[in-house]
Structure 1
Amino acid sequence: MGKSKVYFLQALASFILVLFTMPLGHALMIIMEKTMTPEAVHYAGFTMGFVGLVMVIVGVFVKGDTRQTLWGLIGGLLFWTGWVEFLFQYYAHRFGVQPEIENGVVVTKPEYLILPASFGFWMMMMTMYIFSTRNGCNFITWIQKRLFRERKNQIVVQPMTRHTSIVTFMEVNMILWASYLLLMFCYDKNFLGDHHPVTYLVGVGCFIGALFIFQKQLYIASWGANIRMSVATVVVFWVPIEILGRINFFKEFWTHPQEYAFPLLCILAGFLFLLGFMWLKGSKKKRS
């Protein structure tokens, strides 16, 4: 069996499950901003982040790799939306950060303009992962091999204590964080700009990279591991979607939930169906 068998169902379903969280997350933020007062949004956002953290912790004590992964995935997304994006929004509004406006239209919200200031914190986390832990991230493992070469096994001796829910939670947040930093760097006219050729190359490179990651997913039999790999596949795949939306190549319907309620409800139904399906799959032990 080994790598000769392709698990297309697991790979495709896992990819779609995680992919659906992208438009749903954007739509949720827009709906909250349009239907709630600014004060209520901040309270709701903080509560959302707390609920996400609790879900991740609960996932540590849940039995089953797939279910632990799902707890970490949903909890991580709520954590990122509530305690990262909404907190950046709160402080951006509180201290009067102005949005980036082109032709009378807001192209970058204030919270995303100040997000690149967190680059040092991201590098701090990456330094810990690169020098202090052996893990399953292909990107980090590649850096370790190139950086440490024959001394890799001496410097990176063992993994951290492994809790699948925490692993998924950290993967979600670190990859989302990295993608936002990359996009904000590309969009910044002091560096490149959204119509710069390098920005387009970044989009093309991420699309090709997502195909390679998905190819690896095809050989993963476990639902939990497939979902975790899908986090990387989807976030990398979403980078060119963000870039194309930025240059108005197509209309991002998820940023207009009131106008496109039906397709978003269909996506929500599909997401809940896949979530329930994988939850039930997680209750069955895979036969060897």
Structure 2
Amino acid sequence: MEPRNQTGVSEFFLQGLTEDPELQPLLCSLFLSIYLVTILGNLLIILAVISDTHLHTPMYFFLSHLSLADICLSTTTIPKMLLNIQTQNQSITYTGCLTQVCFVLVFAVLENFLLAAMAYDRYVAICHPLRYMNIMNPRLCGLLILVSLFLSVVNALLHTLMALRLSFCTHLGIPHFFCELAQVFKLACSDTLINNILLYLVASLFVGVPLCGIIFSYTQIVSSVLRIPSAGGKCKAFSTCGSHLSVVSLFYGTGFGVYISSAATESPRMIAVASVMYTVVPPMMNPFVYSLRNKDMNRALRKLIDRITSLLQLSPMI
């Protein structure tokens, strides 16, 4: 294969989940439905937190930002896939591909930090309840969001700028439905050793440290809850963590599942299908997890939906 300088590369080709033309309309309908459910569900979570004063607490403050990150992550990948299916055009520009890589990294890593911040919030609430409002004050919550966003953007820009130094071969087909950084590296004709070392080093830091923080928080939470004498007190304490723990399990479980499947199979198409589990499924499922497992959120969502329904019923009469 003849190498091409990166300045000569005009576009890549997203080969998607399947090349079977009969399955394309089905995939389009499926992912459009998933995208609409993701946007609507997370938007309702954000509006519920804003409109209900009972939800103006650190836990729901972080949850609303997690929902916003979910919306942004889904919007970064799914609309381009739907457009390619509709136009029967698999191309994505070189600039568009690297931009997509950048935004996927920003919002995926941001979710990772937000889940760690939410775990710390639950740790303080259960292990230090009398000092909760003093520790989890608005200033600290805002600072955690800003630091998480800053680190996510720095991480994304670092990998994206390092990708700019690569030259690519004549084969520019990405066996994926979006531009994933590791798949872009595989298309490069130039040496990607530094890029891969940087990728695994930063991933170990920016994913490993928050995950260790989450594990430590829940270790302390379990230890504290087990010291509660009453069974009712233990149940109430664990119930406040149930939704967050379910979301954490979904996020990291699907991520590690993709990693294991990547190691177990050489099929790029199977890896692409597995990647749907961590880029598409968690953003769609998070609103359901919080609305079904959390009574306060359930009540706030019902009030919000009733208010929206009332407004829609009144609008034709105006």
TM bucket by the smaller chain?
0.3 to 0.5
* TM-score, reference length from structure 2: 0.36
